[in-house]
Amino acid sequence: MSRSQILRPIKLLKRMQQKMDSSSLKRMKDGESIIDPKSTVGGGVADVYGEDRATEDQLVTPWTVSVASGYTLLRDPHHNKGLAFTERERDSHYLRGLLPTAVSTQELQVKKLMQSIRSYDIPLQKYVAMMDLQERNERLFYKLLIDNVEELLPIVYTPTVGEACQKYGSIFKRPQGLYISLKEKGKILEVLKNWPERSIQVIVATDGERILGLGDLGCQGMGIPVGKLALYTALGGVRPSACLPITIDVGTNNQKLLDDEFYIGLRQKRATGKEYYDLLEEFMSAVKQNYGEKVLVQFEDFANHNAFELLAKYRTTHLVFNDDIQGTASVVLAGLVASLKLLGGSLADHTFLFFGAGEAGTGIAELIALEISTKTNIPVEEARKKIWLVDSKGLIVSSRKESLQHFKKPWAHEHEPLSTLLDAVKAIKPSVLIGTSGVGQTFTKDVVEAMAAINERPLIMALSNPTSQAECTAEQAYTWTEGRAIYSSGSPFDPCEYNGKSFIPGQANNAYIFPGLGFGLVISGAIRVHDEMLLAASEALASQVMQEHYDKGMIYPPLANIRKISAHIAANVAAKAYELGLATRLPRPTDLVKYAESCMYTPNYRSYR
């Protein structure tokens, strides 16, 4: 039975609200059951209780849900508690005999599952175990993830999710999101209505063409929206039922997949041009029609040529952002701002060299220029001159301007052409080197040593994902700079030692930003994403790096604190939305951090009476 099917009619809800006094409302917000335990609805046994408050609507109108009983309840991942059903719940919900006698606590269940997950040697086995848990017992899944975020993030997210996408065909069991293919053209609105949840707040959509640094994985890219949205809930506090993963399947140019008899997607070359953009247009308008203008659409892992165009096309009419262009930019900017405490000076005093001039590279470059321009009052065109990009053909310079894609043109400065990254490092003498090429091991020993020869503390960011695509490893960066580098990567690396000293690499992954950014948009009822909100998100993240972290050479706060960090990011983003007149949730809460914290989904079990 789907969750929406067991939502009781609105009339019942209204009747109940009339009966409710303020104390029962308060208890309801706290997740307690508020109805006479003996009451039944529609002839079946029903429980009615409040959902987590995660939106303005729920503050005023708590959802009322009846829970199925018996075997169906155990099969419903949204309400199942497994052995944690109490004796009373087992009686009132016809569960006697369906469970062994022992009654567990959620804490004990977490302990048991962590033991079981740790017993697997292979990360993909852990991933499958986590996905099985998500399909079996959603609250336990999120409790596990939240309580063990540093250990489990690399499993449900980068890098393991990359491998999961490569093998998604054989992992696929049950739908975790919506597949919208060219076959659904003209029917996308109907397809959206097939999803069991109605009140969607965040959609992560991919077309699978550039999954991490792994290339075109077609419809198998679904693992990415699923993983990103798990983080929206675990790290950002958006209710799971308000999240919708979507894969737009327009075919794949990956011949291996096309030749694979078990490939699960549309077996054709990618649609392009008008056919592609018409489908995307139908999708975007169906989303707005079905969910309203406050639903957030996060574009994820589109190839460069479409990513920029889709963002430019929809950012003025829909609530959208591109995680790879803007989320990554915001997280990197936060790290750069934080690093100034270690490096000294302001951003404008630094010179930046990028290896890779796609979505991430140009997105970060532009946000740095915007921040420099905002802080120093110099025009953004001037600020861009401190930033240089190298692509597959060498340093981007003005003599190449005519043949450049439009997103590279702002970075074509006056300089003689240089064909290698090493030559560019030697000539430009950057203080910051940022890898966004999607190609592993491109920060060679020569390149890193050249950075160390120019700078006392070279800042090196190897951002390409997953781990195999990192431009250099943490250990290489510390070893080749004799322990002087400040290093961050997109995928996680373990702490390492050099000359008896321990180093903690930072993870400059957009996972720090998008859950808090999205949550800030949701709680303020924002209707557009503005660049200033990205700057606000960066500032909030940088402000969470404390002296104790700087003392260890860190430029990002520990992920263990991510929910507190997300609440600060959400509050700063929401504040900006109000300031820009883009927020629709009125009146503006006075303490936005407290408000954000109070709206966050918590995975603790609720009692069913």
Catalytic annotation, residues: 157, 228
- Single out the residue of 247, 510, 524, 538 in contact with ligand OAA (rule: CB under 6 A): 510
- Asked if residue 324 belongs to a known ligand binding site, the reply is yes
Residue 301 binds Mg ion, judged by CB under 5 A: yes
Nearest alpha-carbon partner for 316 in 527, 505, 163, 479: 527
Residue 133 to residue 136: CA distance in whole angstroms: 5
- Of ligand OAA, Mg ion, none, which one does residue 207 interact with (CB within 5 to 8 Å by kind)? none
Task: Note whether 507 binds ligand OAA by CB under 6 A.
Answer: no
Beta strands in 449-543 (DSSP E): 459-462, 486-489, 496-498, 501-503, 506-507
What is the rounded distance in angstroms from the CA atom of residue 223 to the CA atom of residue 170? 12
Give the binding range for Mg ion (CB under 5 A) out of 45-53, 120-128, 254-262, 297-305: 297-305
By a kind-dependent CB cut-off of 5 to 8 A, residue 158 interacts, out of Mg ion, ligand OAA, none, with ligand OAA
Query: Is 509 a known ligand-binding residue?
Result: yes
The reply to whether 158 sits near ligand OAA by the rule CB under 6 A is: yes
- For the purposes of burial, counting CB atoms within 10 Å of the CB of 186, is it exposed (0-12), middle (13-18) or buried (19 or more)? exposed
Query: Which of 525, 519, 523 has the alpha carbon at shortest distance from 583?
Result: 525
CB atoms within 10 A of CB 410: 18
Q: Which does 209 bind (CB under 5 to 8 A by kind): ligand OAA, Mg ion, none?
A: none
Q: Give 241 or 469: the residue with its C-beta nearer to ligand OAA.
A: 469
Q: Is 239 marked as binding a ligand?
A: no
Q: Cα–Cα distance between 384 and 387 in angstroms, integer?
A: 5
CB of 324 to Mg ion, least distance (A): 4
- DSSP three-state, residue 471: coil
- 306 part of the interface to ligand OAA, by CB under 6 A: no
What span, in angstroms and rounded, lies between the C-alpha atoms of 334 and 556? 8
Contact assessment for residue 387 and residue 354, using Cβ atoms and an 8 Å cutoff: yes
241, HSE (Cβ side, Cα atoms, 13 Å): 23
Q: Mark residues 102-141: x for contact with Mg ion by CB under 5 A, - for none.
A: ----------------------------------------
Cis peptide upstream of residue 587 (ω within 30 degrees of 0): yes
Among 52, 76, 184, 301, binds ligand OAA (CB under 6 A): 301
76 lines the binding site for Mg ion (CB under 5 A): no
| 301 labeled part of a ligand binding site | yes
* Nearest residue to ligand OAA, scored by beta-carbon proximity: 158
324 forms part of the interface with ligand OAA (CB under 6 A):
yes
- Least distance to ligand OAA, CB of residue 562, Å: 14
Instruction: Estimate the share of the chain in helix, then strand, then coil, as percent rounded to the nearest 5.
Output: 50, 10, 40
What are the residues whose beta carbons fall under 8 Å from the beta carbon of 470, sequence distance 6 or more?
Answer: 435, 440, 441, 462, 463, 464, 489, 490, 491, 493
Min dist. Cβ of residue 469 to Mg ion (A): 12
Neighbours of 292 (CB within 10 A): 13
Residue 471 near ligand OAA by CB under 6 A: no
CB of 330 to ligand OAA, least distance (A): 12
Q: Is 389 helix (H, G, I), strand (E, B) or coil?
A: strand
- Shortest distance (Å) from residue 210 CB to Mg ion: 8
Helix (H, G, I), strand (E, B) or coil at 513: coil
What x/- string results for residues 256 through 295 when contact with Mg ion is judged by CB under 5 A? ----------------------------------------
451 or 511, CB closer to Mg ion? 511
- Min dist CB 509 to Mg ion, Å, is 9
Binding of Mg ion by 207 (CB under 5 A): no
**Which 370-409 residues touch ligand OAA, going by CB under 6 A?**
none
Smallest separation (angstroms) from ligand OAA to the CB of 326: 11
281 touches 301 (CB < 8 A) = no
Name the one range near Mg ion by CB under 5 A: 16-24, 106-114, 298-306, 391-399: 298-306
Q: How many CA atoms lie within 13 A of 497 on its CB side?
A: 3
Per CB under 6 A, which of residues 202..241 are in contact with ligand OAA? 212
The rounded distance, in Å, linking the Cα atoms of 321 and 259 is 34
Instruction: Output the six-digit token pair for 132.
Output: 């099985």
Q: Closer CB to Mg ion, residue 241 or residue 509?
A: 509
Kindly state the smallest distance separating residue 583's Cβ from Mg ion, in Å.
27
Q: Is 148 annotated as a binding residue?
A: no
Identified binder of ligand OAA from the candidate list 106, 465, 507, 566, rule CB under 6 A: 465
Q: How far is CA 120 from CA 113, 125, 155, 223, 505, in A?
A: 11, 6, 12, 20, 25
Alpha-carbon distances, residue 546 vs 228, 331, 488, 511, 557 (angstroms) = 27, 16, 17, 19, 7
Of residues 52-81, which lie at the interface with ligand OAA (CB under 6 A)? none
Closest CA to 52 of 30, 73, 33, 27: 30
Q: Which helix (H) or strand (E) holds 299?
A: strand 296-299
For ligand OAA, which is the closer residue by CB, 50 or 236? 236
User: Could you give the CA distance from residue 399 to residue 408 in angstroms, rounded to a whole number?
Assistant: 13
Rounded CA gap, 56 and 157, in Å? 29
**Of the candidate residues 47, 209, 324, 471, the single one contacting Mg ion (CB under 5 A):** 324
In the complex, the smallest distance separating the C-beta of residue 486 from ligand OAA, rounded to whole angstroms, is 20
Question: Is 210 within any annotated ligand binding site?
Answer: yes
Binding segment for Mg ion (CB under 5 A), chosen from 6-14, 273-281, 320-328, 564-572, is 320-328
Which of 95/130 has CB closer to ligand OAA?
Answer: 130
- Give φ, ψ of 66 to 5 degrees: -105, 140
Does 56 help bind Mg ion (rule: CB under 5 A)?
no
Of 310 and 583, the one with the shorter C-beta distance to Mg ion is 310
Q: Which residues are annotated as part of the binding site for a divalent metal cation?
A: 300-301, 324
Provide the binding-site residues for ligand OAA, judged by CB under 6 A. Answer: 158, 212, 301, 323-324, 465, 490, 509-510
Provide the binding-site residues for Mg ion, judged by CB under 5 A. Answer: 300-301, 324
Q: Which residues are annotated as part of the binding site?
A: 210, 300-301, 324, 465, 509
